[in-house]
Amino acid sequence: ASCDKDHNLNAAIQDSQFYEAIIDAWSMRHFKRGMETGHDHFFNSFKKFHAITSIHRGEALADIVARSALQNEVYLELMIHTDVTLTAQKLLLMAWNNDFESMYQKILAADMSDVVKQLSLKLDTQETQMQEILACNSVQAHIGCKLPVRYIYQVARENTPLLVFGQMVAGFEFANHDKRVVAINLVQPEDGLIAMRDYRLHMEMIAFLRKKYPNIKLTLHAGELSEATVNREDLKTHITDAVRIANADRIGHGVDILFEDNATSLLKEMAHKKVLVEVNLSSNQFILDVSGPHHPLLHYLNHGVPIALSTDDEGISRSDLTQEFQLATVTYDLTYPIIKTMVRNSLTYAFLPGESLWQEGLVHRYHSACSQDVPETKQLSPQCQAFLSRSEKATLQWELEKRFTIFEHSLRG
């Protein structure tokens, strides 16, 4: 439906009641269950503002980076929306078959390099706009200008096998040619008709492509399901397939873990493989109706599965990391060492190049090169300096340790 002249976005600037109604429609603010579920309200929000965000991505990026820096974050991995039509145009004359190798070669031959080039140029434009807005090349540069940002390529899974596979190829090619893009993910509701029907096929597609691109990381929305959204028999295999078929490095949500077949065995496997779970407490509460003792957060902790907290979507959820940590601490009575480990995990399992600051299997023991150094020391040992200079990941981890030290000293007075 079209908007009349009295109810467009320009009018919202002058009409506070209309403005408030827009914010409520585009987010979870003031949401009350009734004609619409939290799940539907959340996912329906994206198409309501897509026409705006699709042409203001540079401004959105600047806002996200600025707010994240002010929250004391040291690194960002952002999901980037890609133009599905770019890929679709290259696939118009193709017919799908399940011979992945044949389809892969056909898609590459359909000038996929042009898609990658256009995606990189769009990302260039967005970052340039962000830098201009934050005055990054001036003496008044915003603190966010120093915040490292990487991107995760989104594949819209509620599409035909051809278009899903084509997006995947584009994403892996993009990440392979542009080091700002560090991983691939699938988006759109996991309980969607096509997402449910083709879930295992999608995992098999990814498994095939990961062999072609072994250095590209993978995080997957997996187990973002509950009995409020699907039948119980549909809760048995999604995390399992993400871990065992697609070989995901991380999974997002993982809410249905206790309904998975052989859940205990799967938890042990995830702990052994160090598959991190991105936990989204607020999101899981209003989308899946899962919270408190019904959420598997403590089960992951008790089985040694690494976890980190995430906001899912700050804009729609109207949340931030501070609120997520507060919710986790109050709900599950988490100790400071557990919270600290979760924060460290967000960098340990980040898709950054270089060795970790932590010795393998010893999260509280520095790498041997820095074993004699402490964060509060201004002058690092030559071997520690050399090690940090070779690892972007370890450098940011060291910065985090310095911030922990400052915070903890402030509490002691």
In a domain, 383, yes or no: yes
Backbone angles phi, psi at 197, to 5 degrees: -65, -40
Burial of 349 (0-12, 13-18, 19+ CB in 10 A): buried
* pLDDT tier for residue 51 given thresholds of 50, 70 and 90: confident
In a domain, 390, yes or no: yes
Residues 189 and 274 in one domain: no
Domain boundary, last residue among 211, 235, 253: 211
Residues 220 and 199 in one domain: no
Residues 65 and 184 in one domain: yes
Residues in the chain: 413
Question: Which of 257, 254, 322, 333 has its CA nearest to residue 292?
Answer: 333
Q: What is the mean pLDDT of residues 294-302?
A: 98
Q: What whole-number distance in Å separates Cα of residue 375 and Cα of residue 381?
A: 12
* Overall domain count for the chain: 4
Residues 70 and 188 in one domain: yes
11: containing domain: 1-30
Q: What is the mean pLDDT of residues 326-354?
A: 97
Residue 5 has pLDDT above 90, yes or no: no
CB-based contacts of 6-12 (< 8 A; 24+ apart in sequence): 9/52
Q: What is the pLDDT of residues 142-185, one digit of tens each?
A: 999 999 999 999 999 999 999 999 999 999 999 999 999 999 99
Q: What percent of the chain has pLDDT over 70?
A: 97
Residues 152 and 203 in one domain: yes
* pLDDT tier for residue 363 given thresholds of 50, 70 and 90: low
Q: What is the mean pLDDT of residues 301-313?
A: 95
In a domain, 306, yes or no: yes
CA distances from 51 to 22, 28, 48, 55, 57 (A): 14, 19, 8, 7, 11
* Cα end-to-end distance, the chain, whole Å: 60
Residues 62 and 201 in one domain: yes
Residues 174 and 267 in one domain: no
Beta carbons within 10 angstroms of residue 369's beta carbon: 21
**Residue with the larger pLDDT of the pair 306 and 7:** 306
- The CATH number of residue 320's host domain is 3.20.20.140
Q: What whole-number distance in Å separates Cα of residue 174 and Cα of residue 327?
A: 37
CA distances from 332 to 248, 253, 281 (A): 27, 17, 11
In a domain, 357, yes or no: no
Lowest-pLDDT choice from 88-102, 123-137, 198-212: 88-102
In a domain, 271, yes or no: yes
Residues 136 and 198 in one domain: yes
Residues 156 and 252 in one domain: no
Q: What is the pLDDT of residues 245-294, one digit of tens each?
A: 999 999 999 999 999 999 999 999 999 999 999 999 999 999 999 999 99
Quick one: three-class SS letters along the chain?
CCCCCCCCHHHHHHCHHHHHHHHHHHCCCCCCCCCCCHHHHHHHHHHHHHHHHCCCHHHHHHHHHHHHHHCCCCCEEEEECCCHHHHHHHCCCCCCCCCHHHHHHHHHHCCHHHHHHHHHHHHHHHHHHHHHHCCCCCCCCCHHHHCCEEEEEEEECCCCHHHHHHHHHHHHHHHHHCCCEEEEEEECCCCCHHHHHCHHHHHHHHHHHHHHCCCCEEEEEECCCCCCCCCHHHHCCHHHHHHHCCCCCEEEECCCHHHCCCHHHHHHHHHHHCCEEEECHHHHHHHHCCCHHHCCHHHHHHCCCCEEECCCCHHHHCCCHHHHHHHHHHHHCCCHHHHHHHHHHHHHCCCCCCCCCEECCEEEEECHHHCCCCCCCCCCCHHHHHHHHHCHHHHHHHHHHHHHHHHHHHHHC
Q: What is the mean pLDDT of residues 395-403?
A: 97
Q: What is the mean pLDDT of residues 186-206?
A: 98
* pLDDT computed for residue 50 by the predictor: 81
Residues 93 and 120 in one domain: yes
* pLDDT tier for residue 1 given thresholds of 50, 70 and 90: very low
Residues 68 and 195 in one domain: yes
Check: CB of residue 218 under 8 Å from CB of residue 248: yes
Domain boundary, last residue among 211, 246, 262: 211
Residue 379 has pLDDT above 60, yes or no: yes
Residues 237 and 262 in one domain: yes
In a domain, 359, yes or no: no
In a domain, 185, yes or no: yes
Q: What percent of the chain has pLDDT over 90?
A: 78
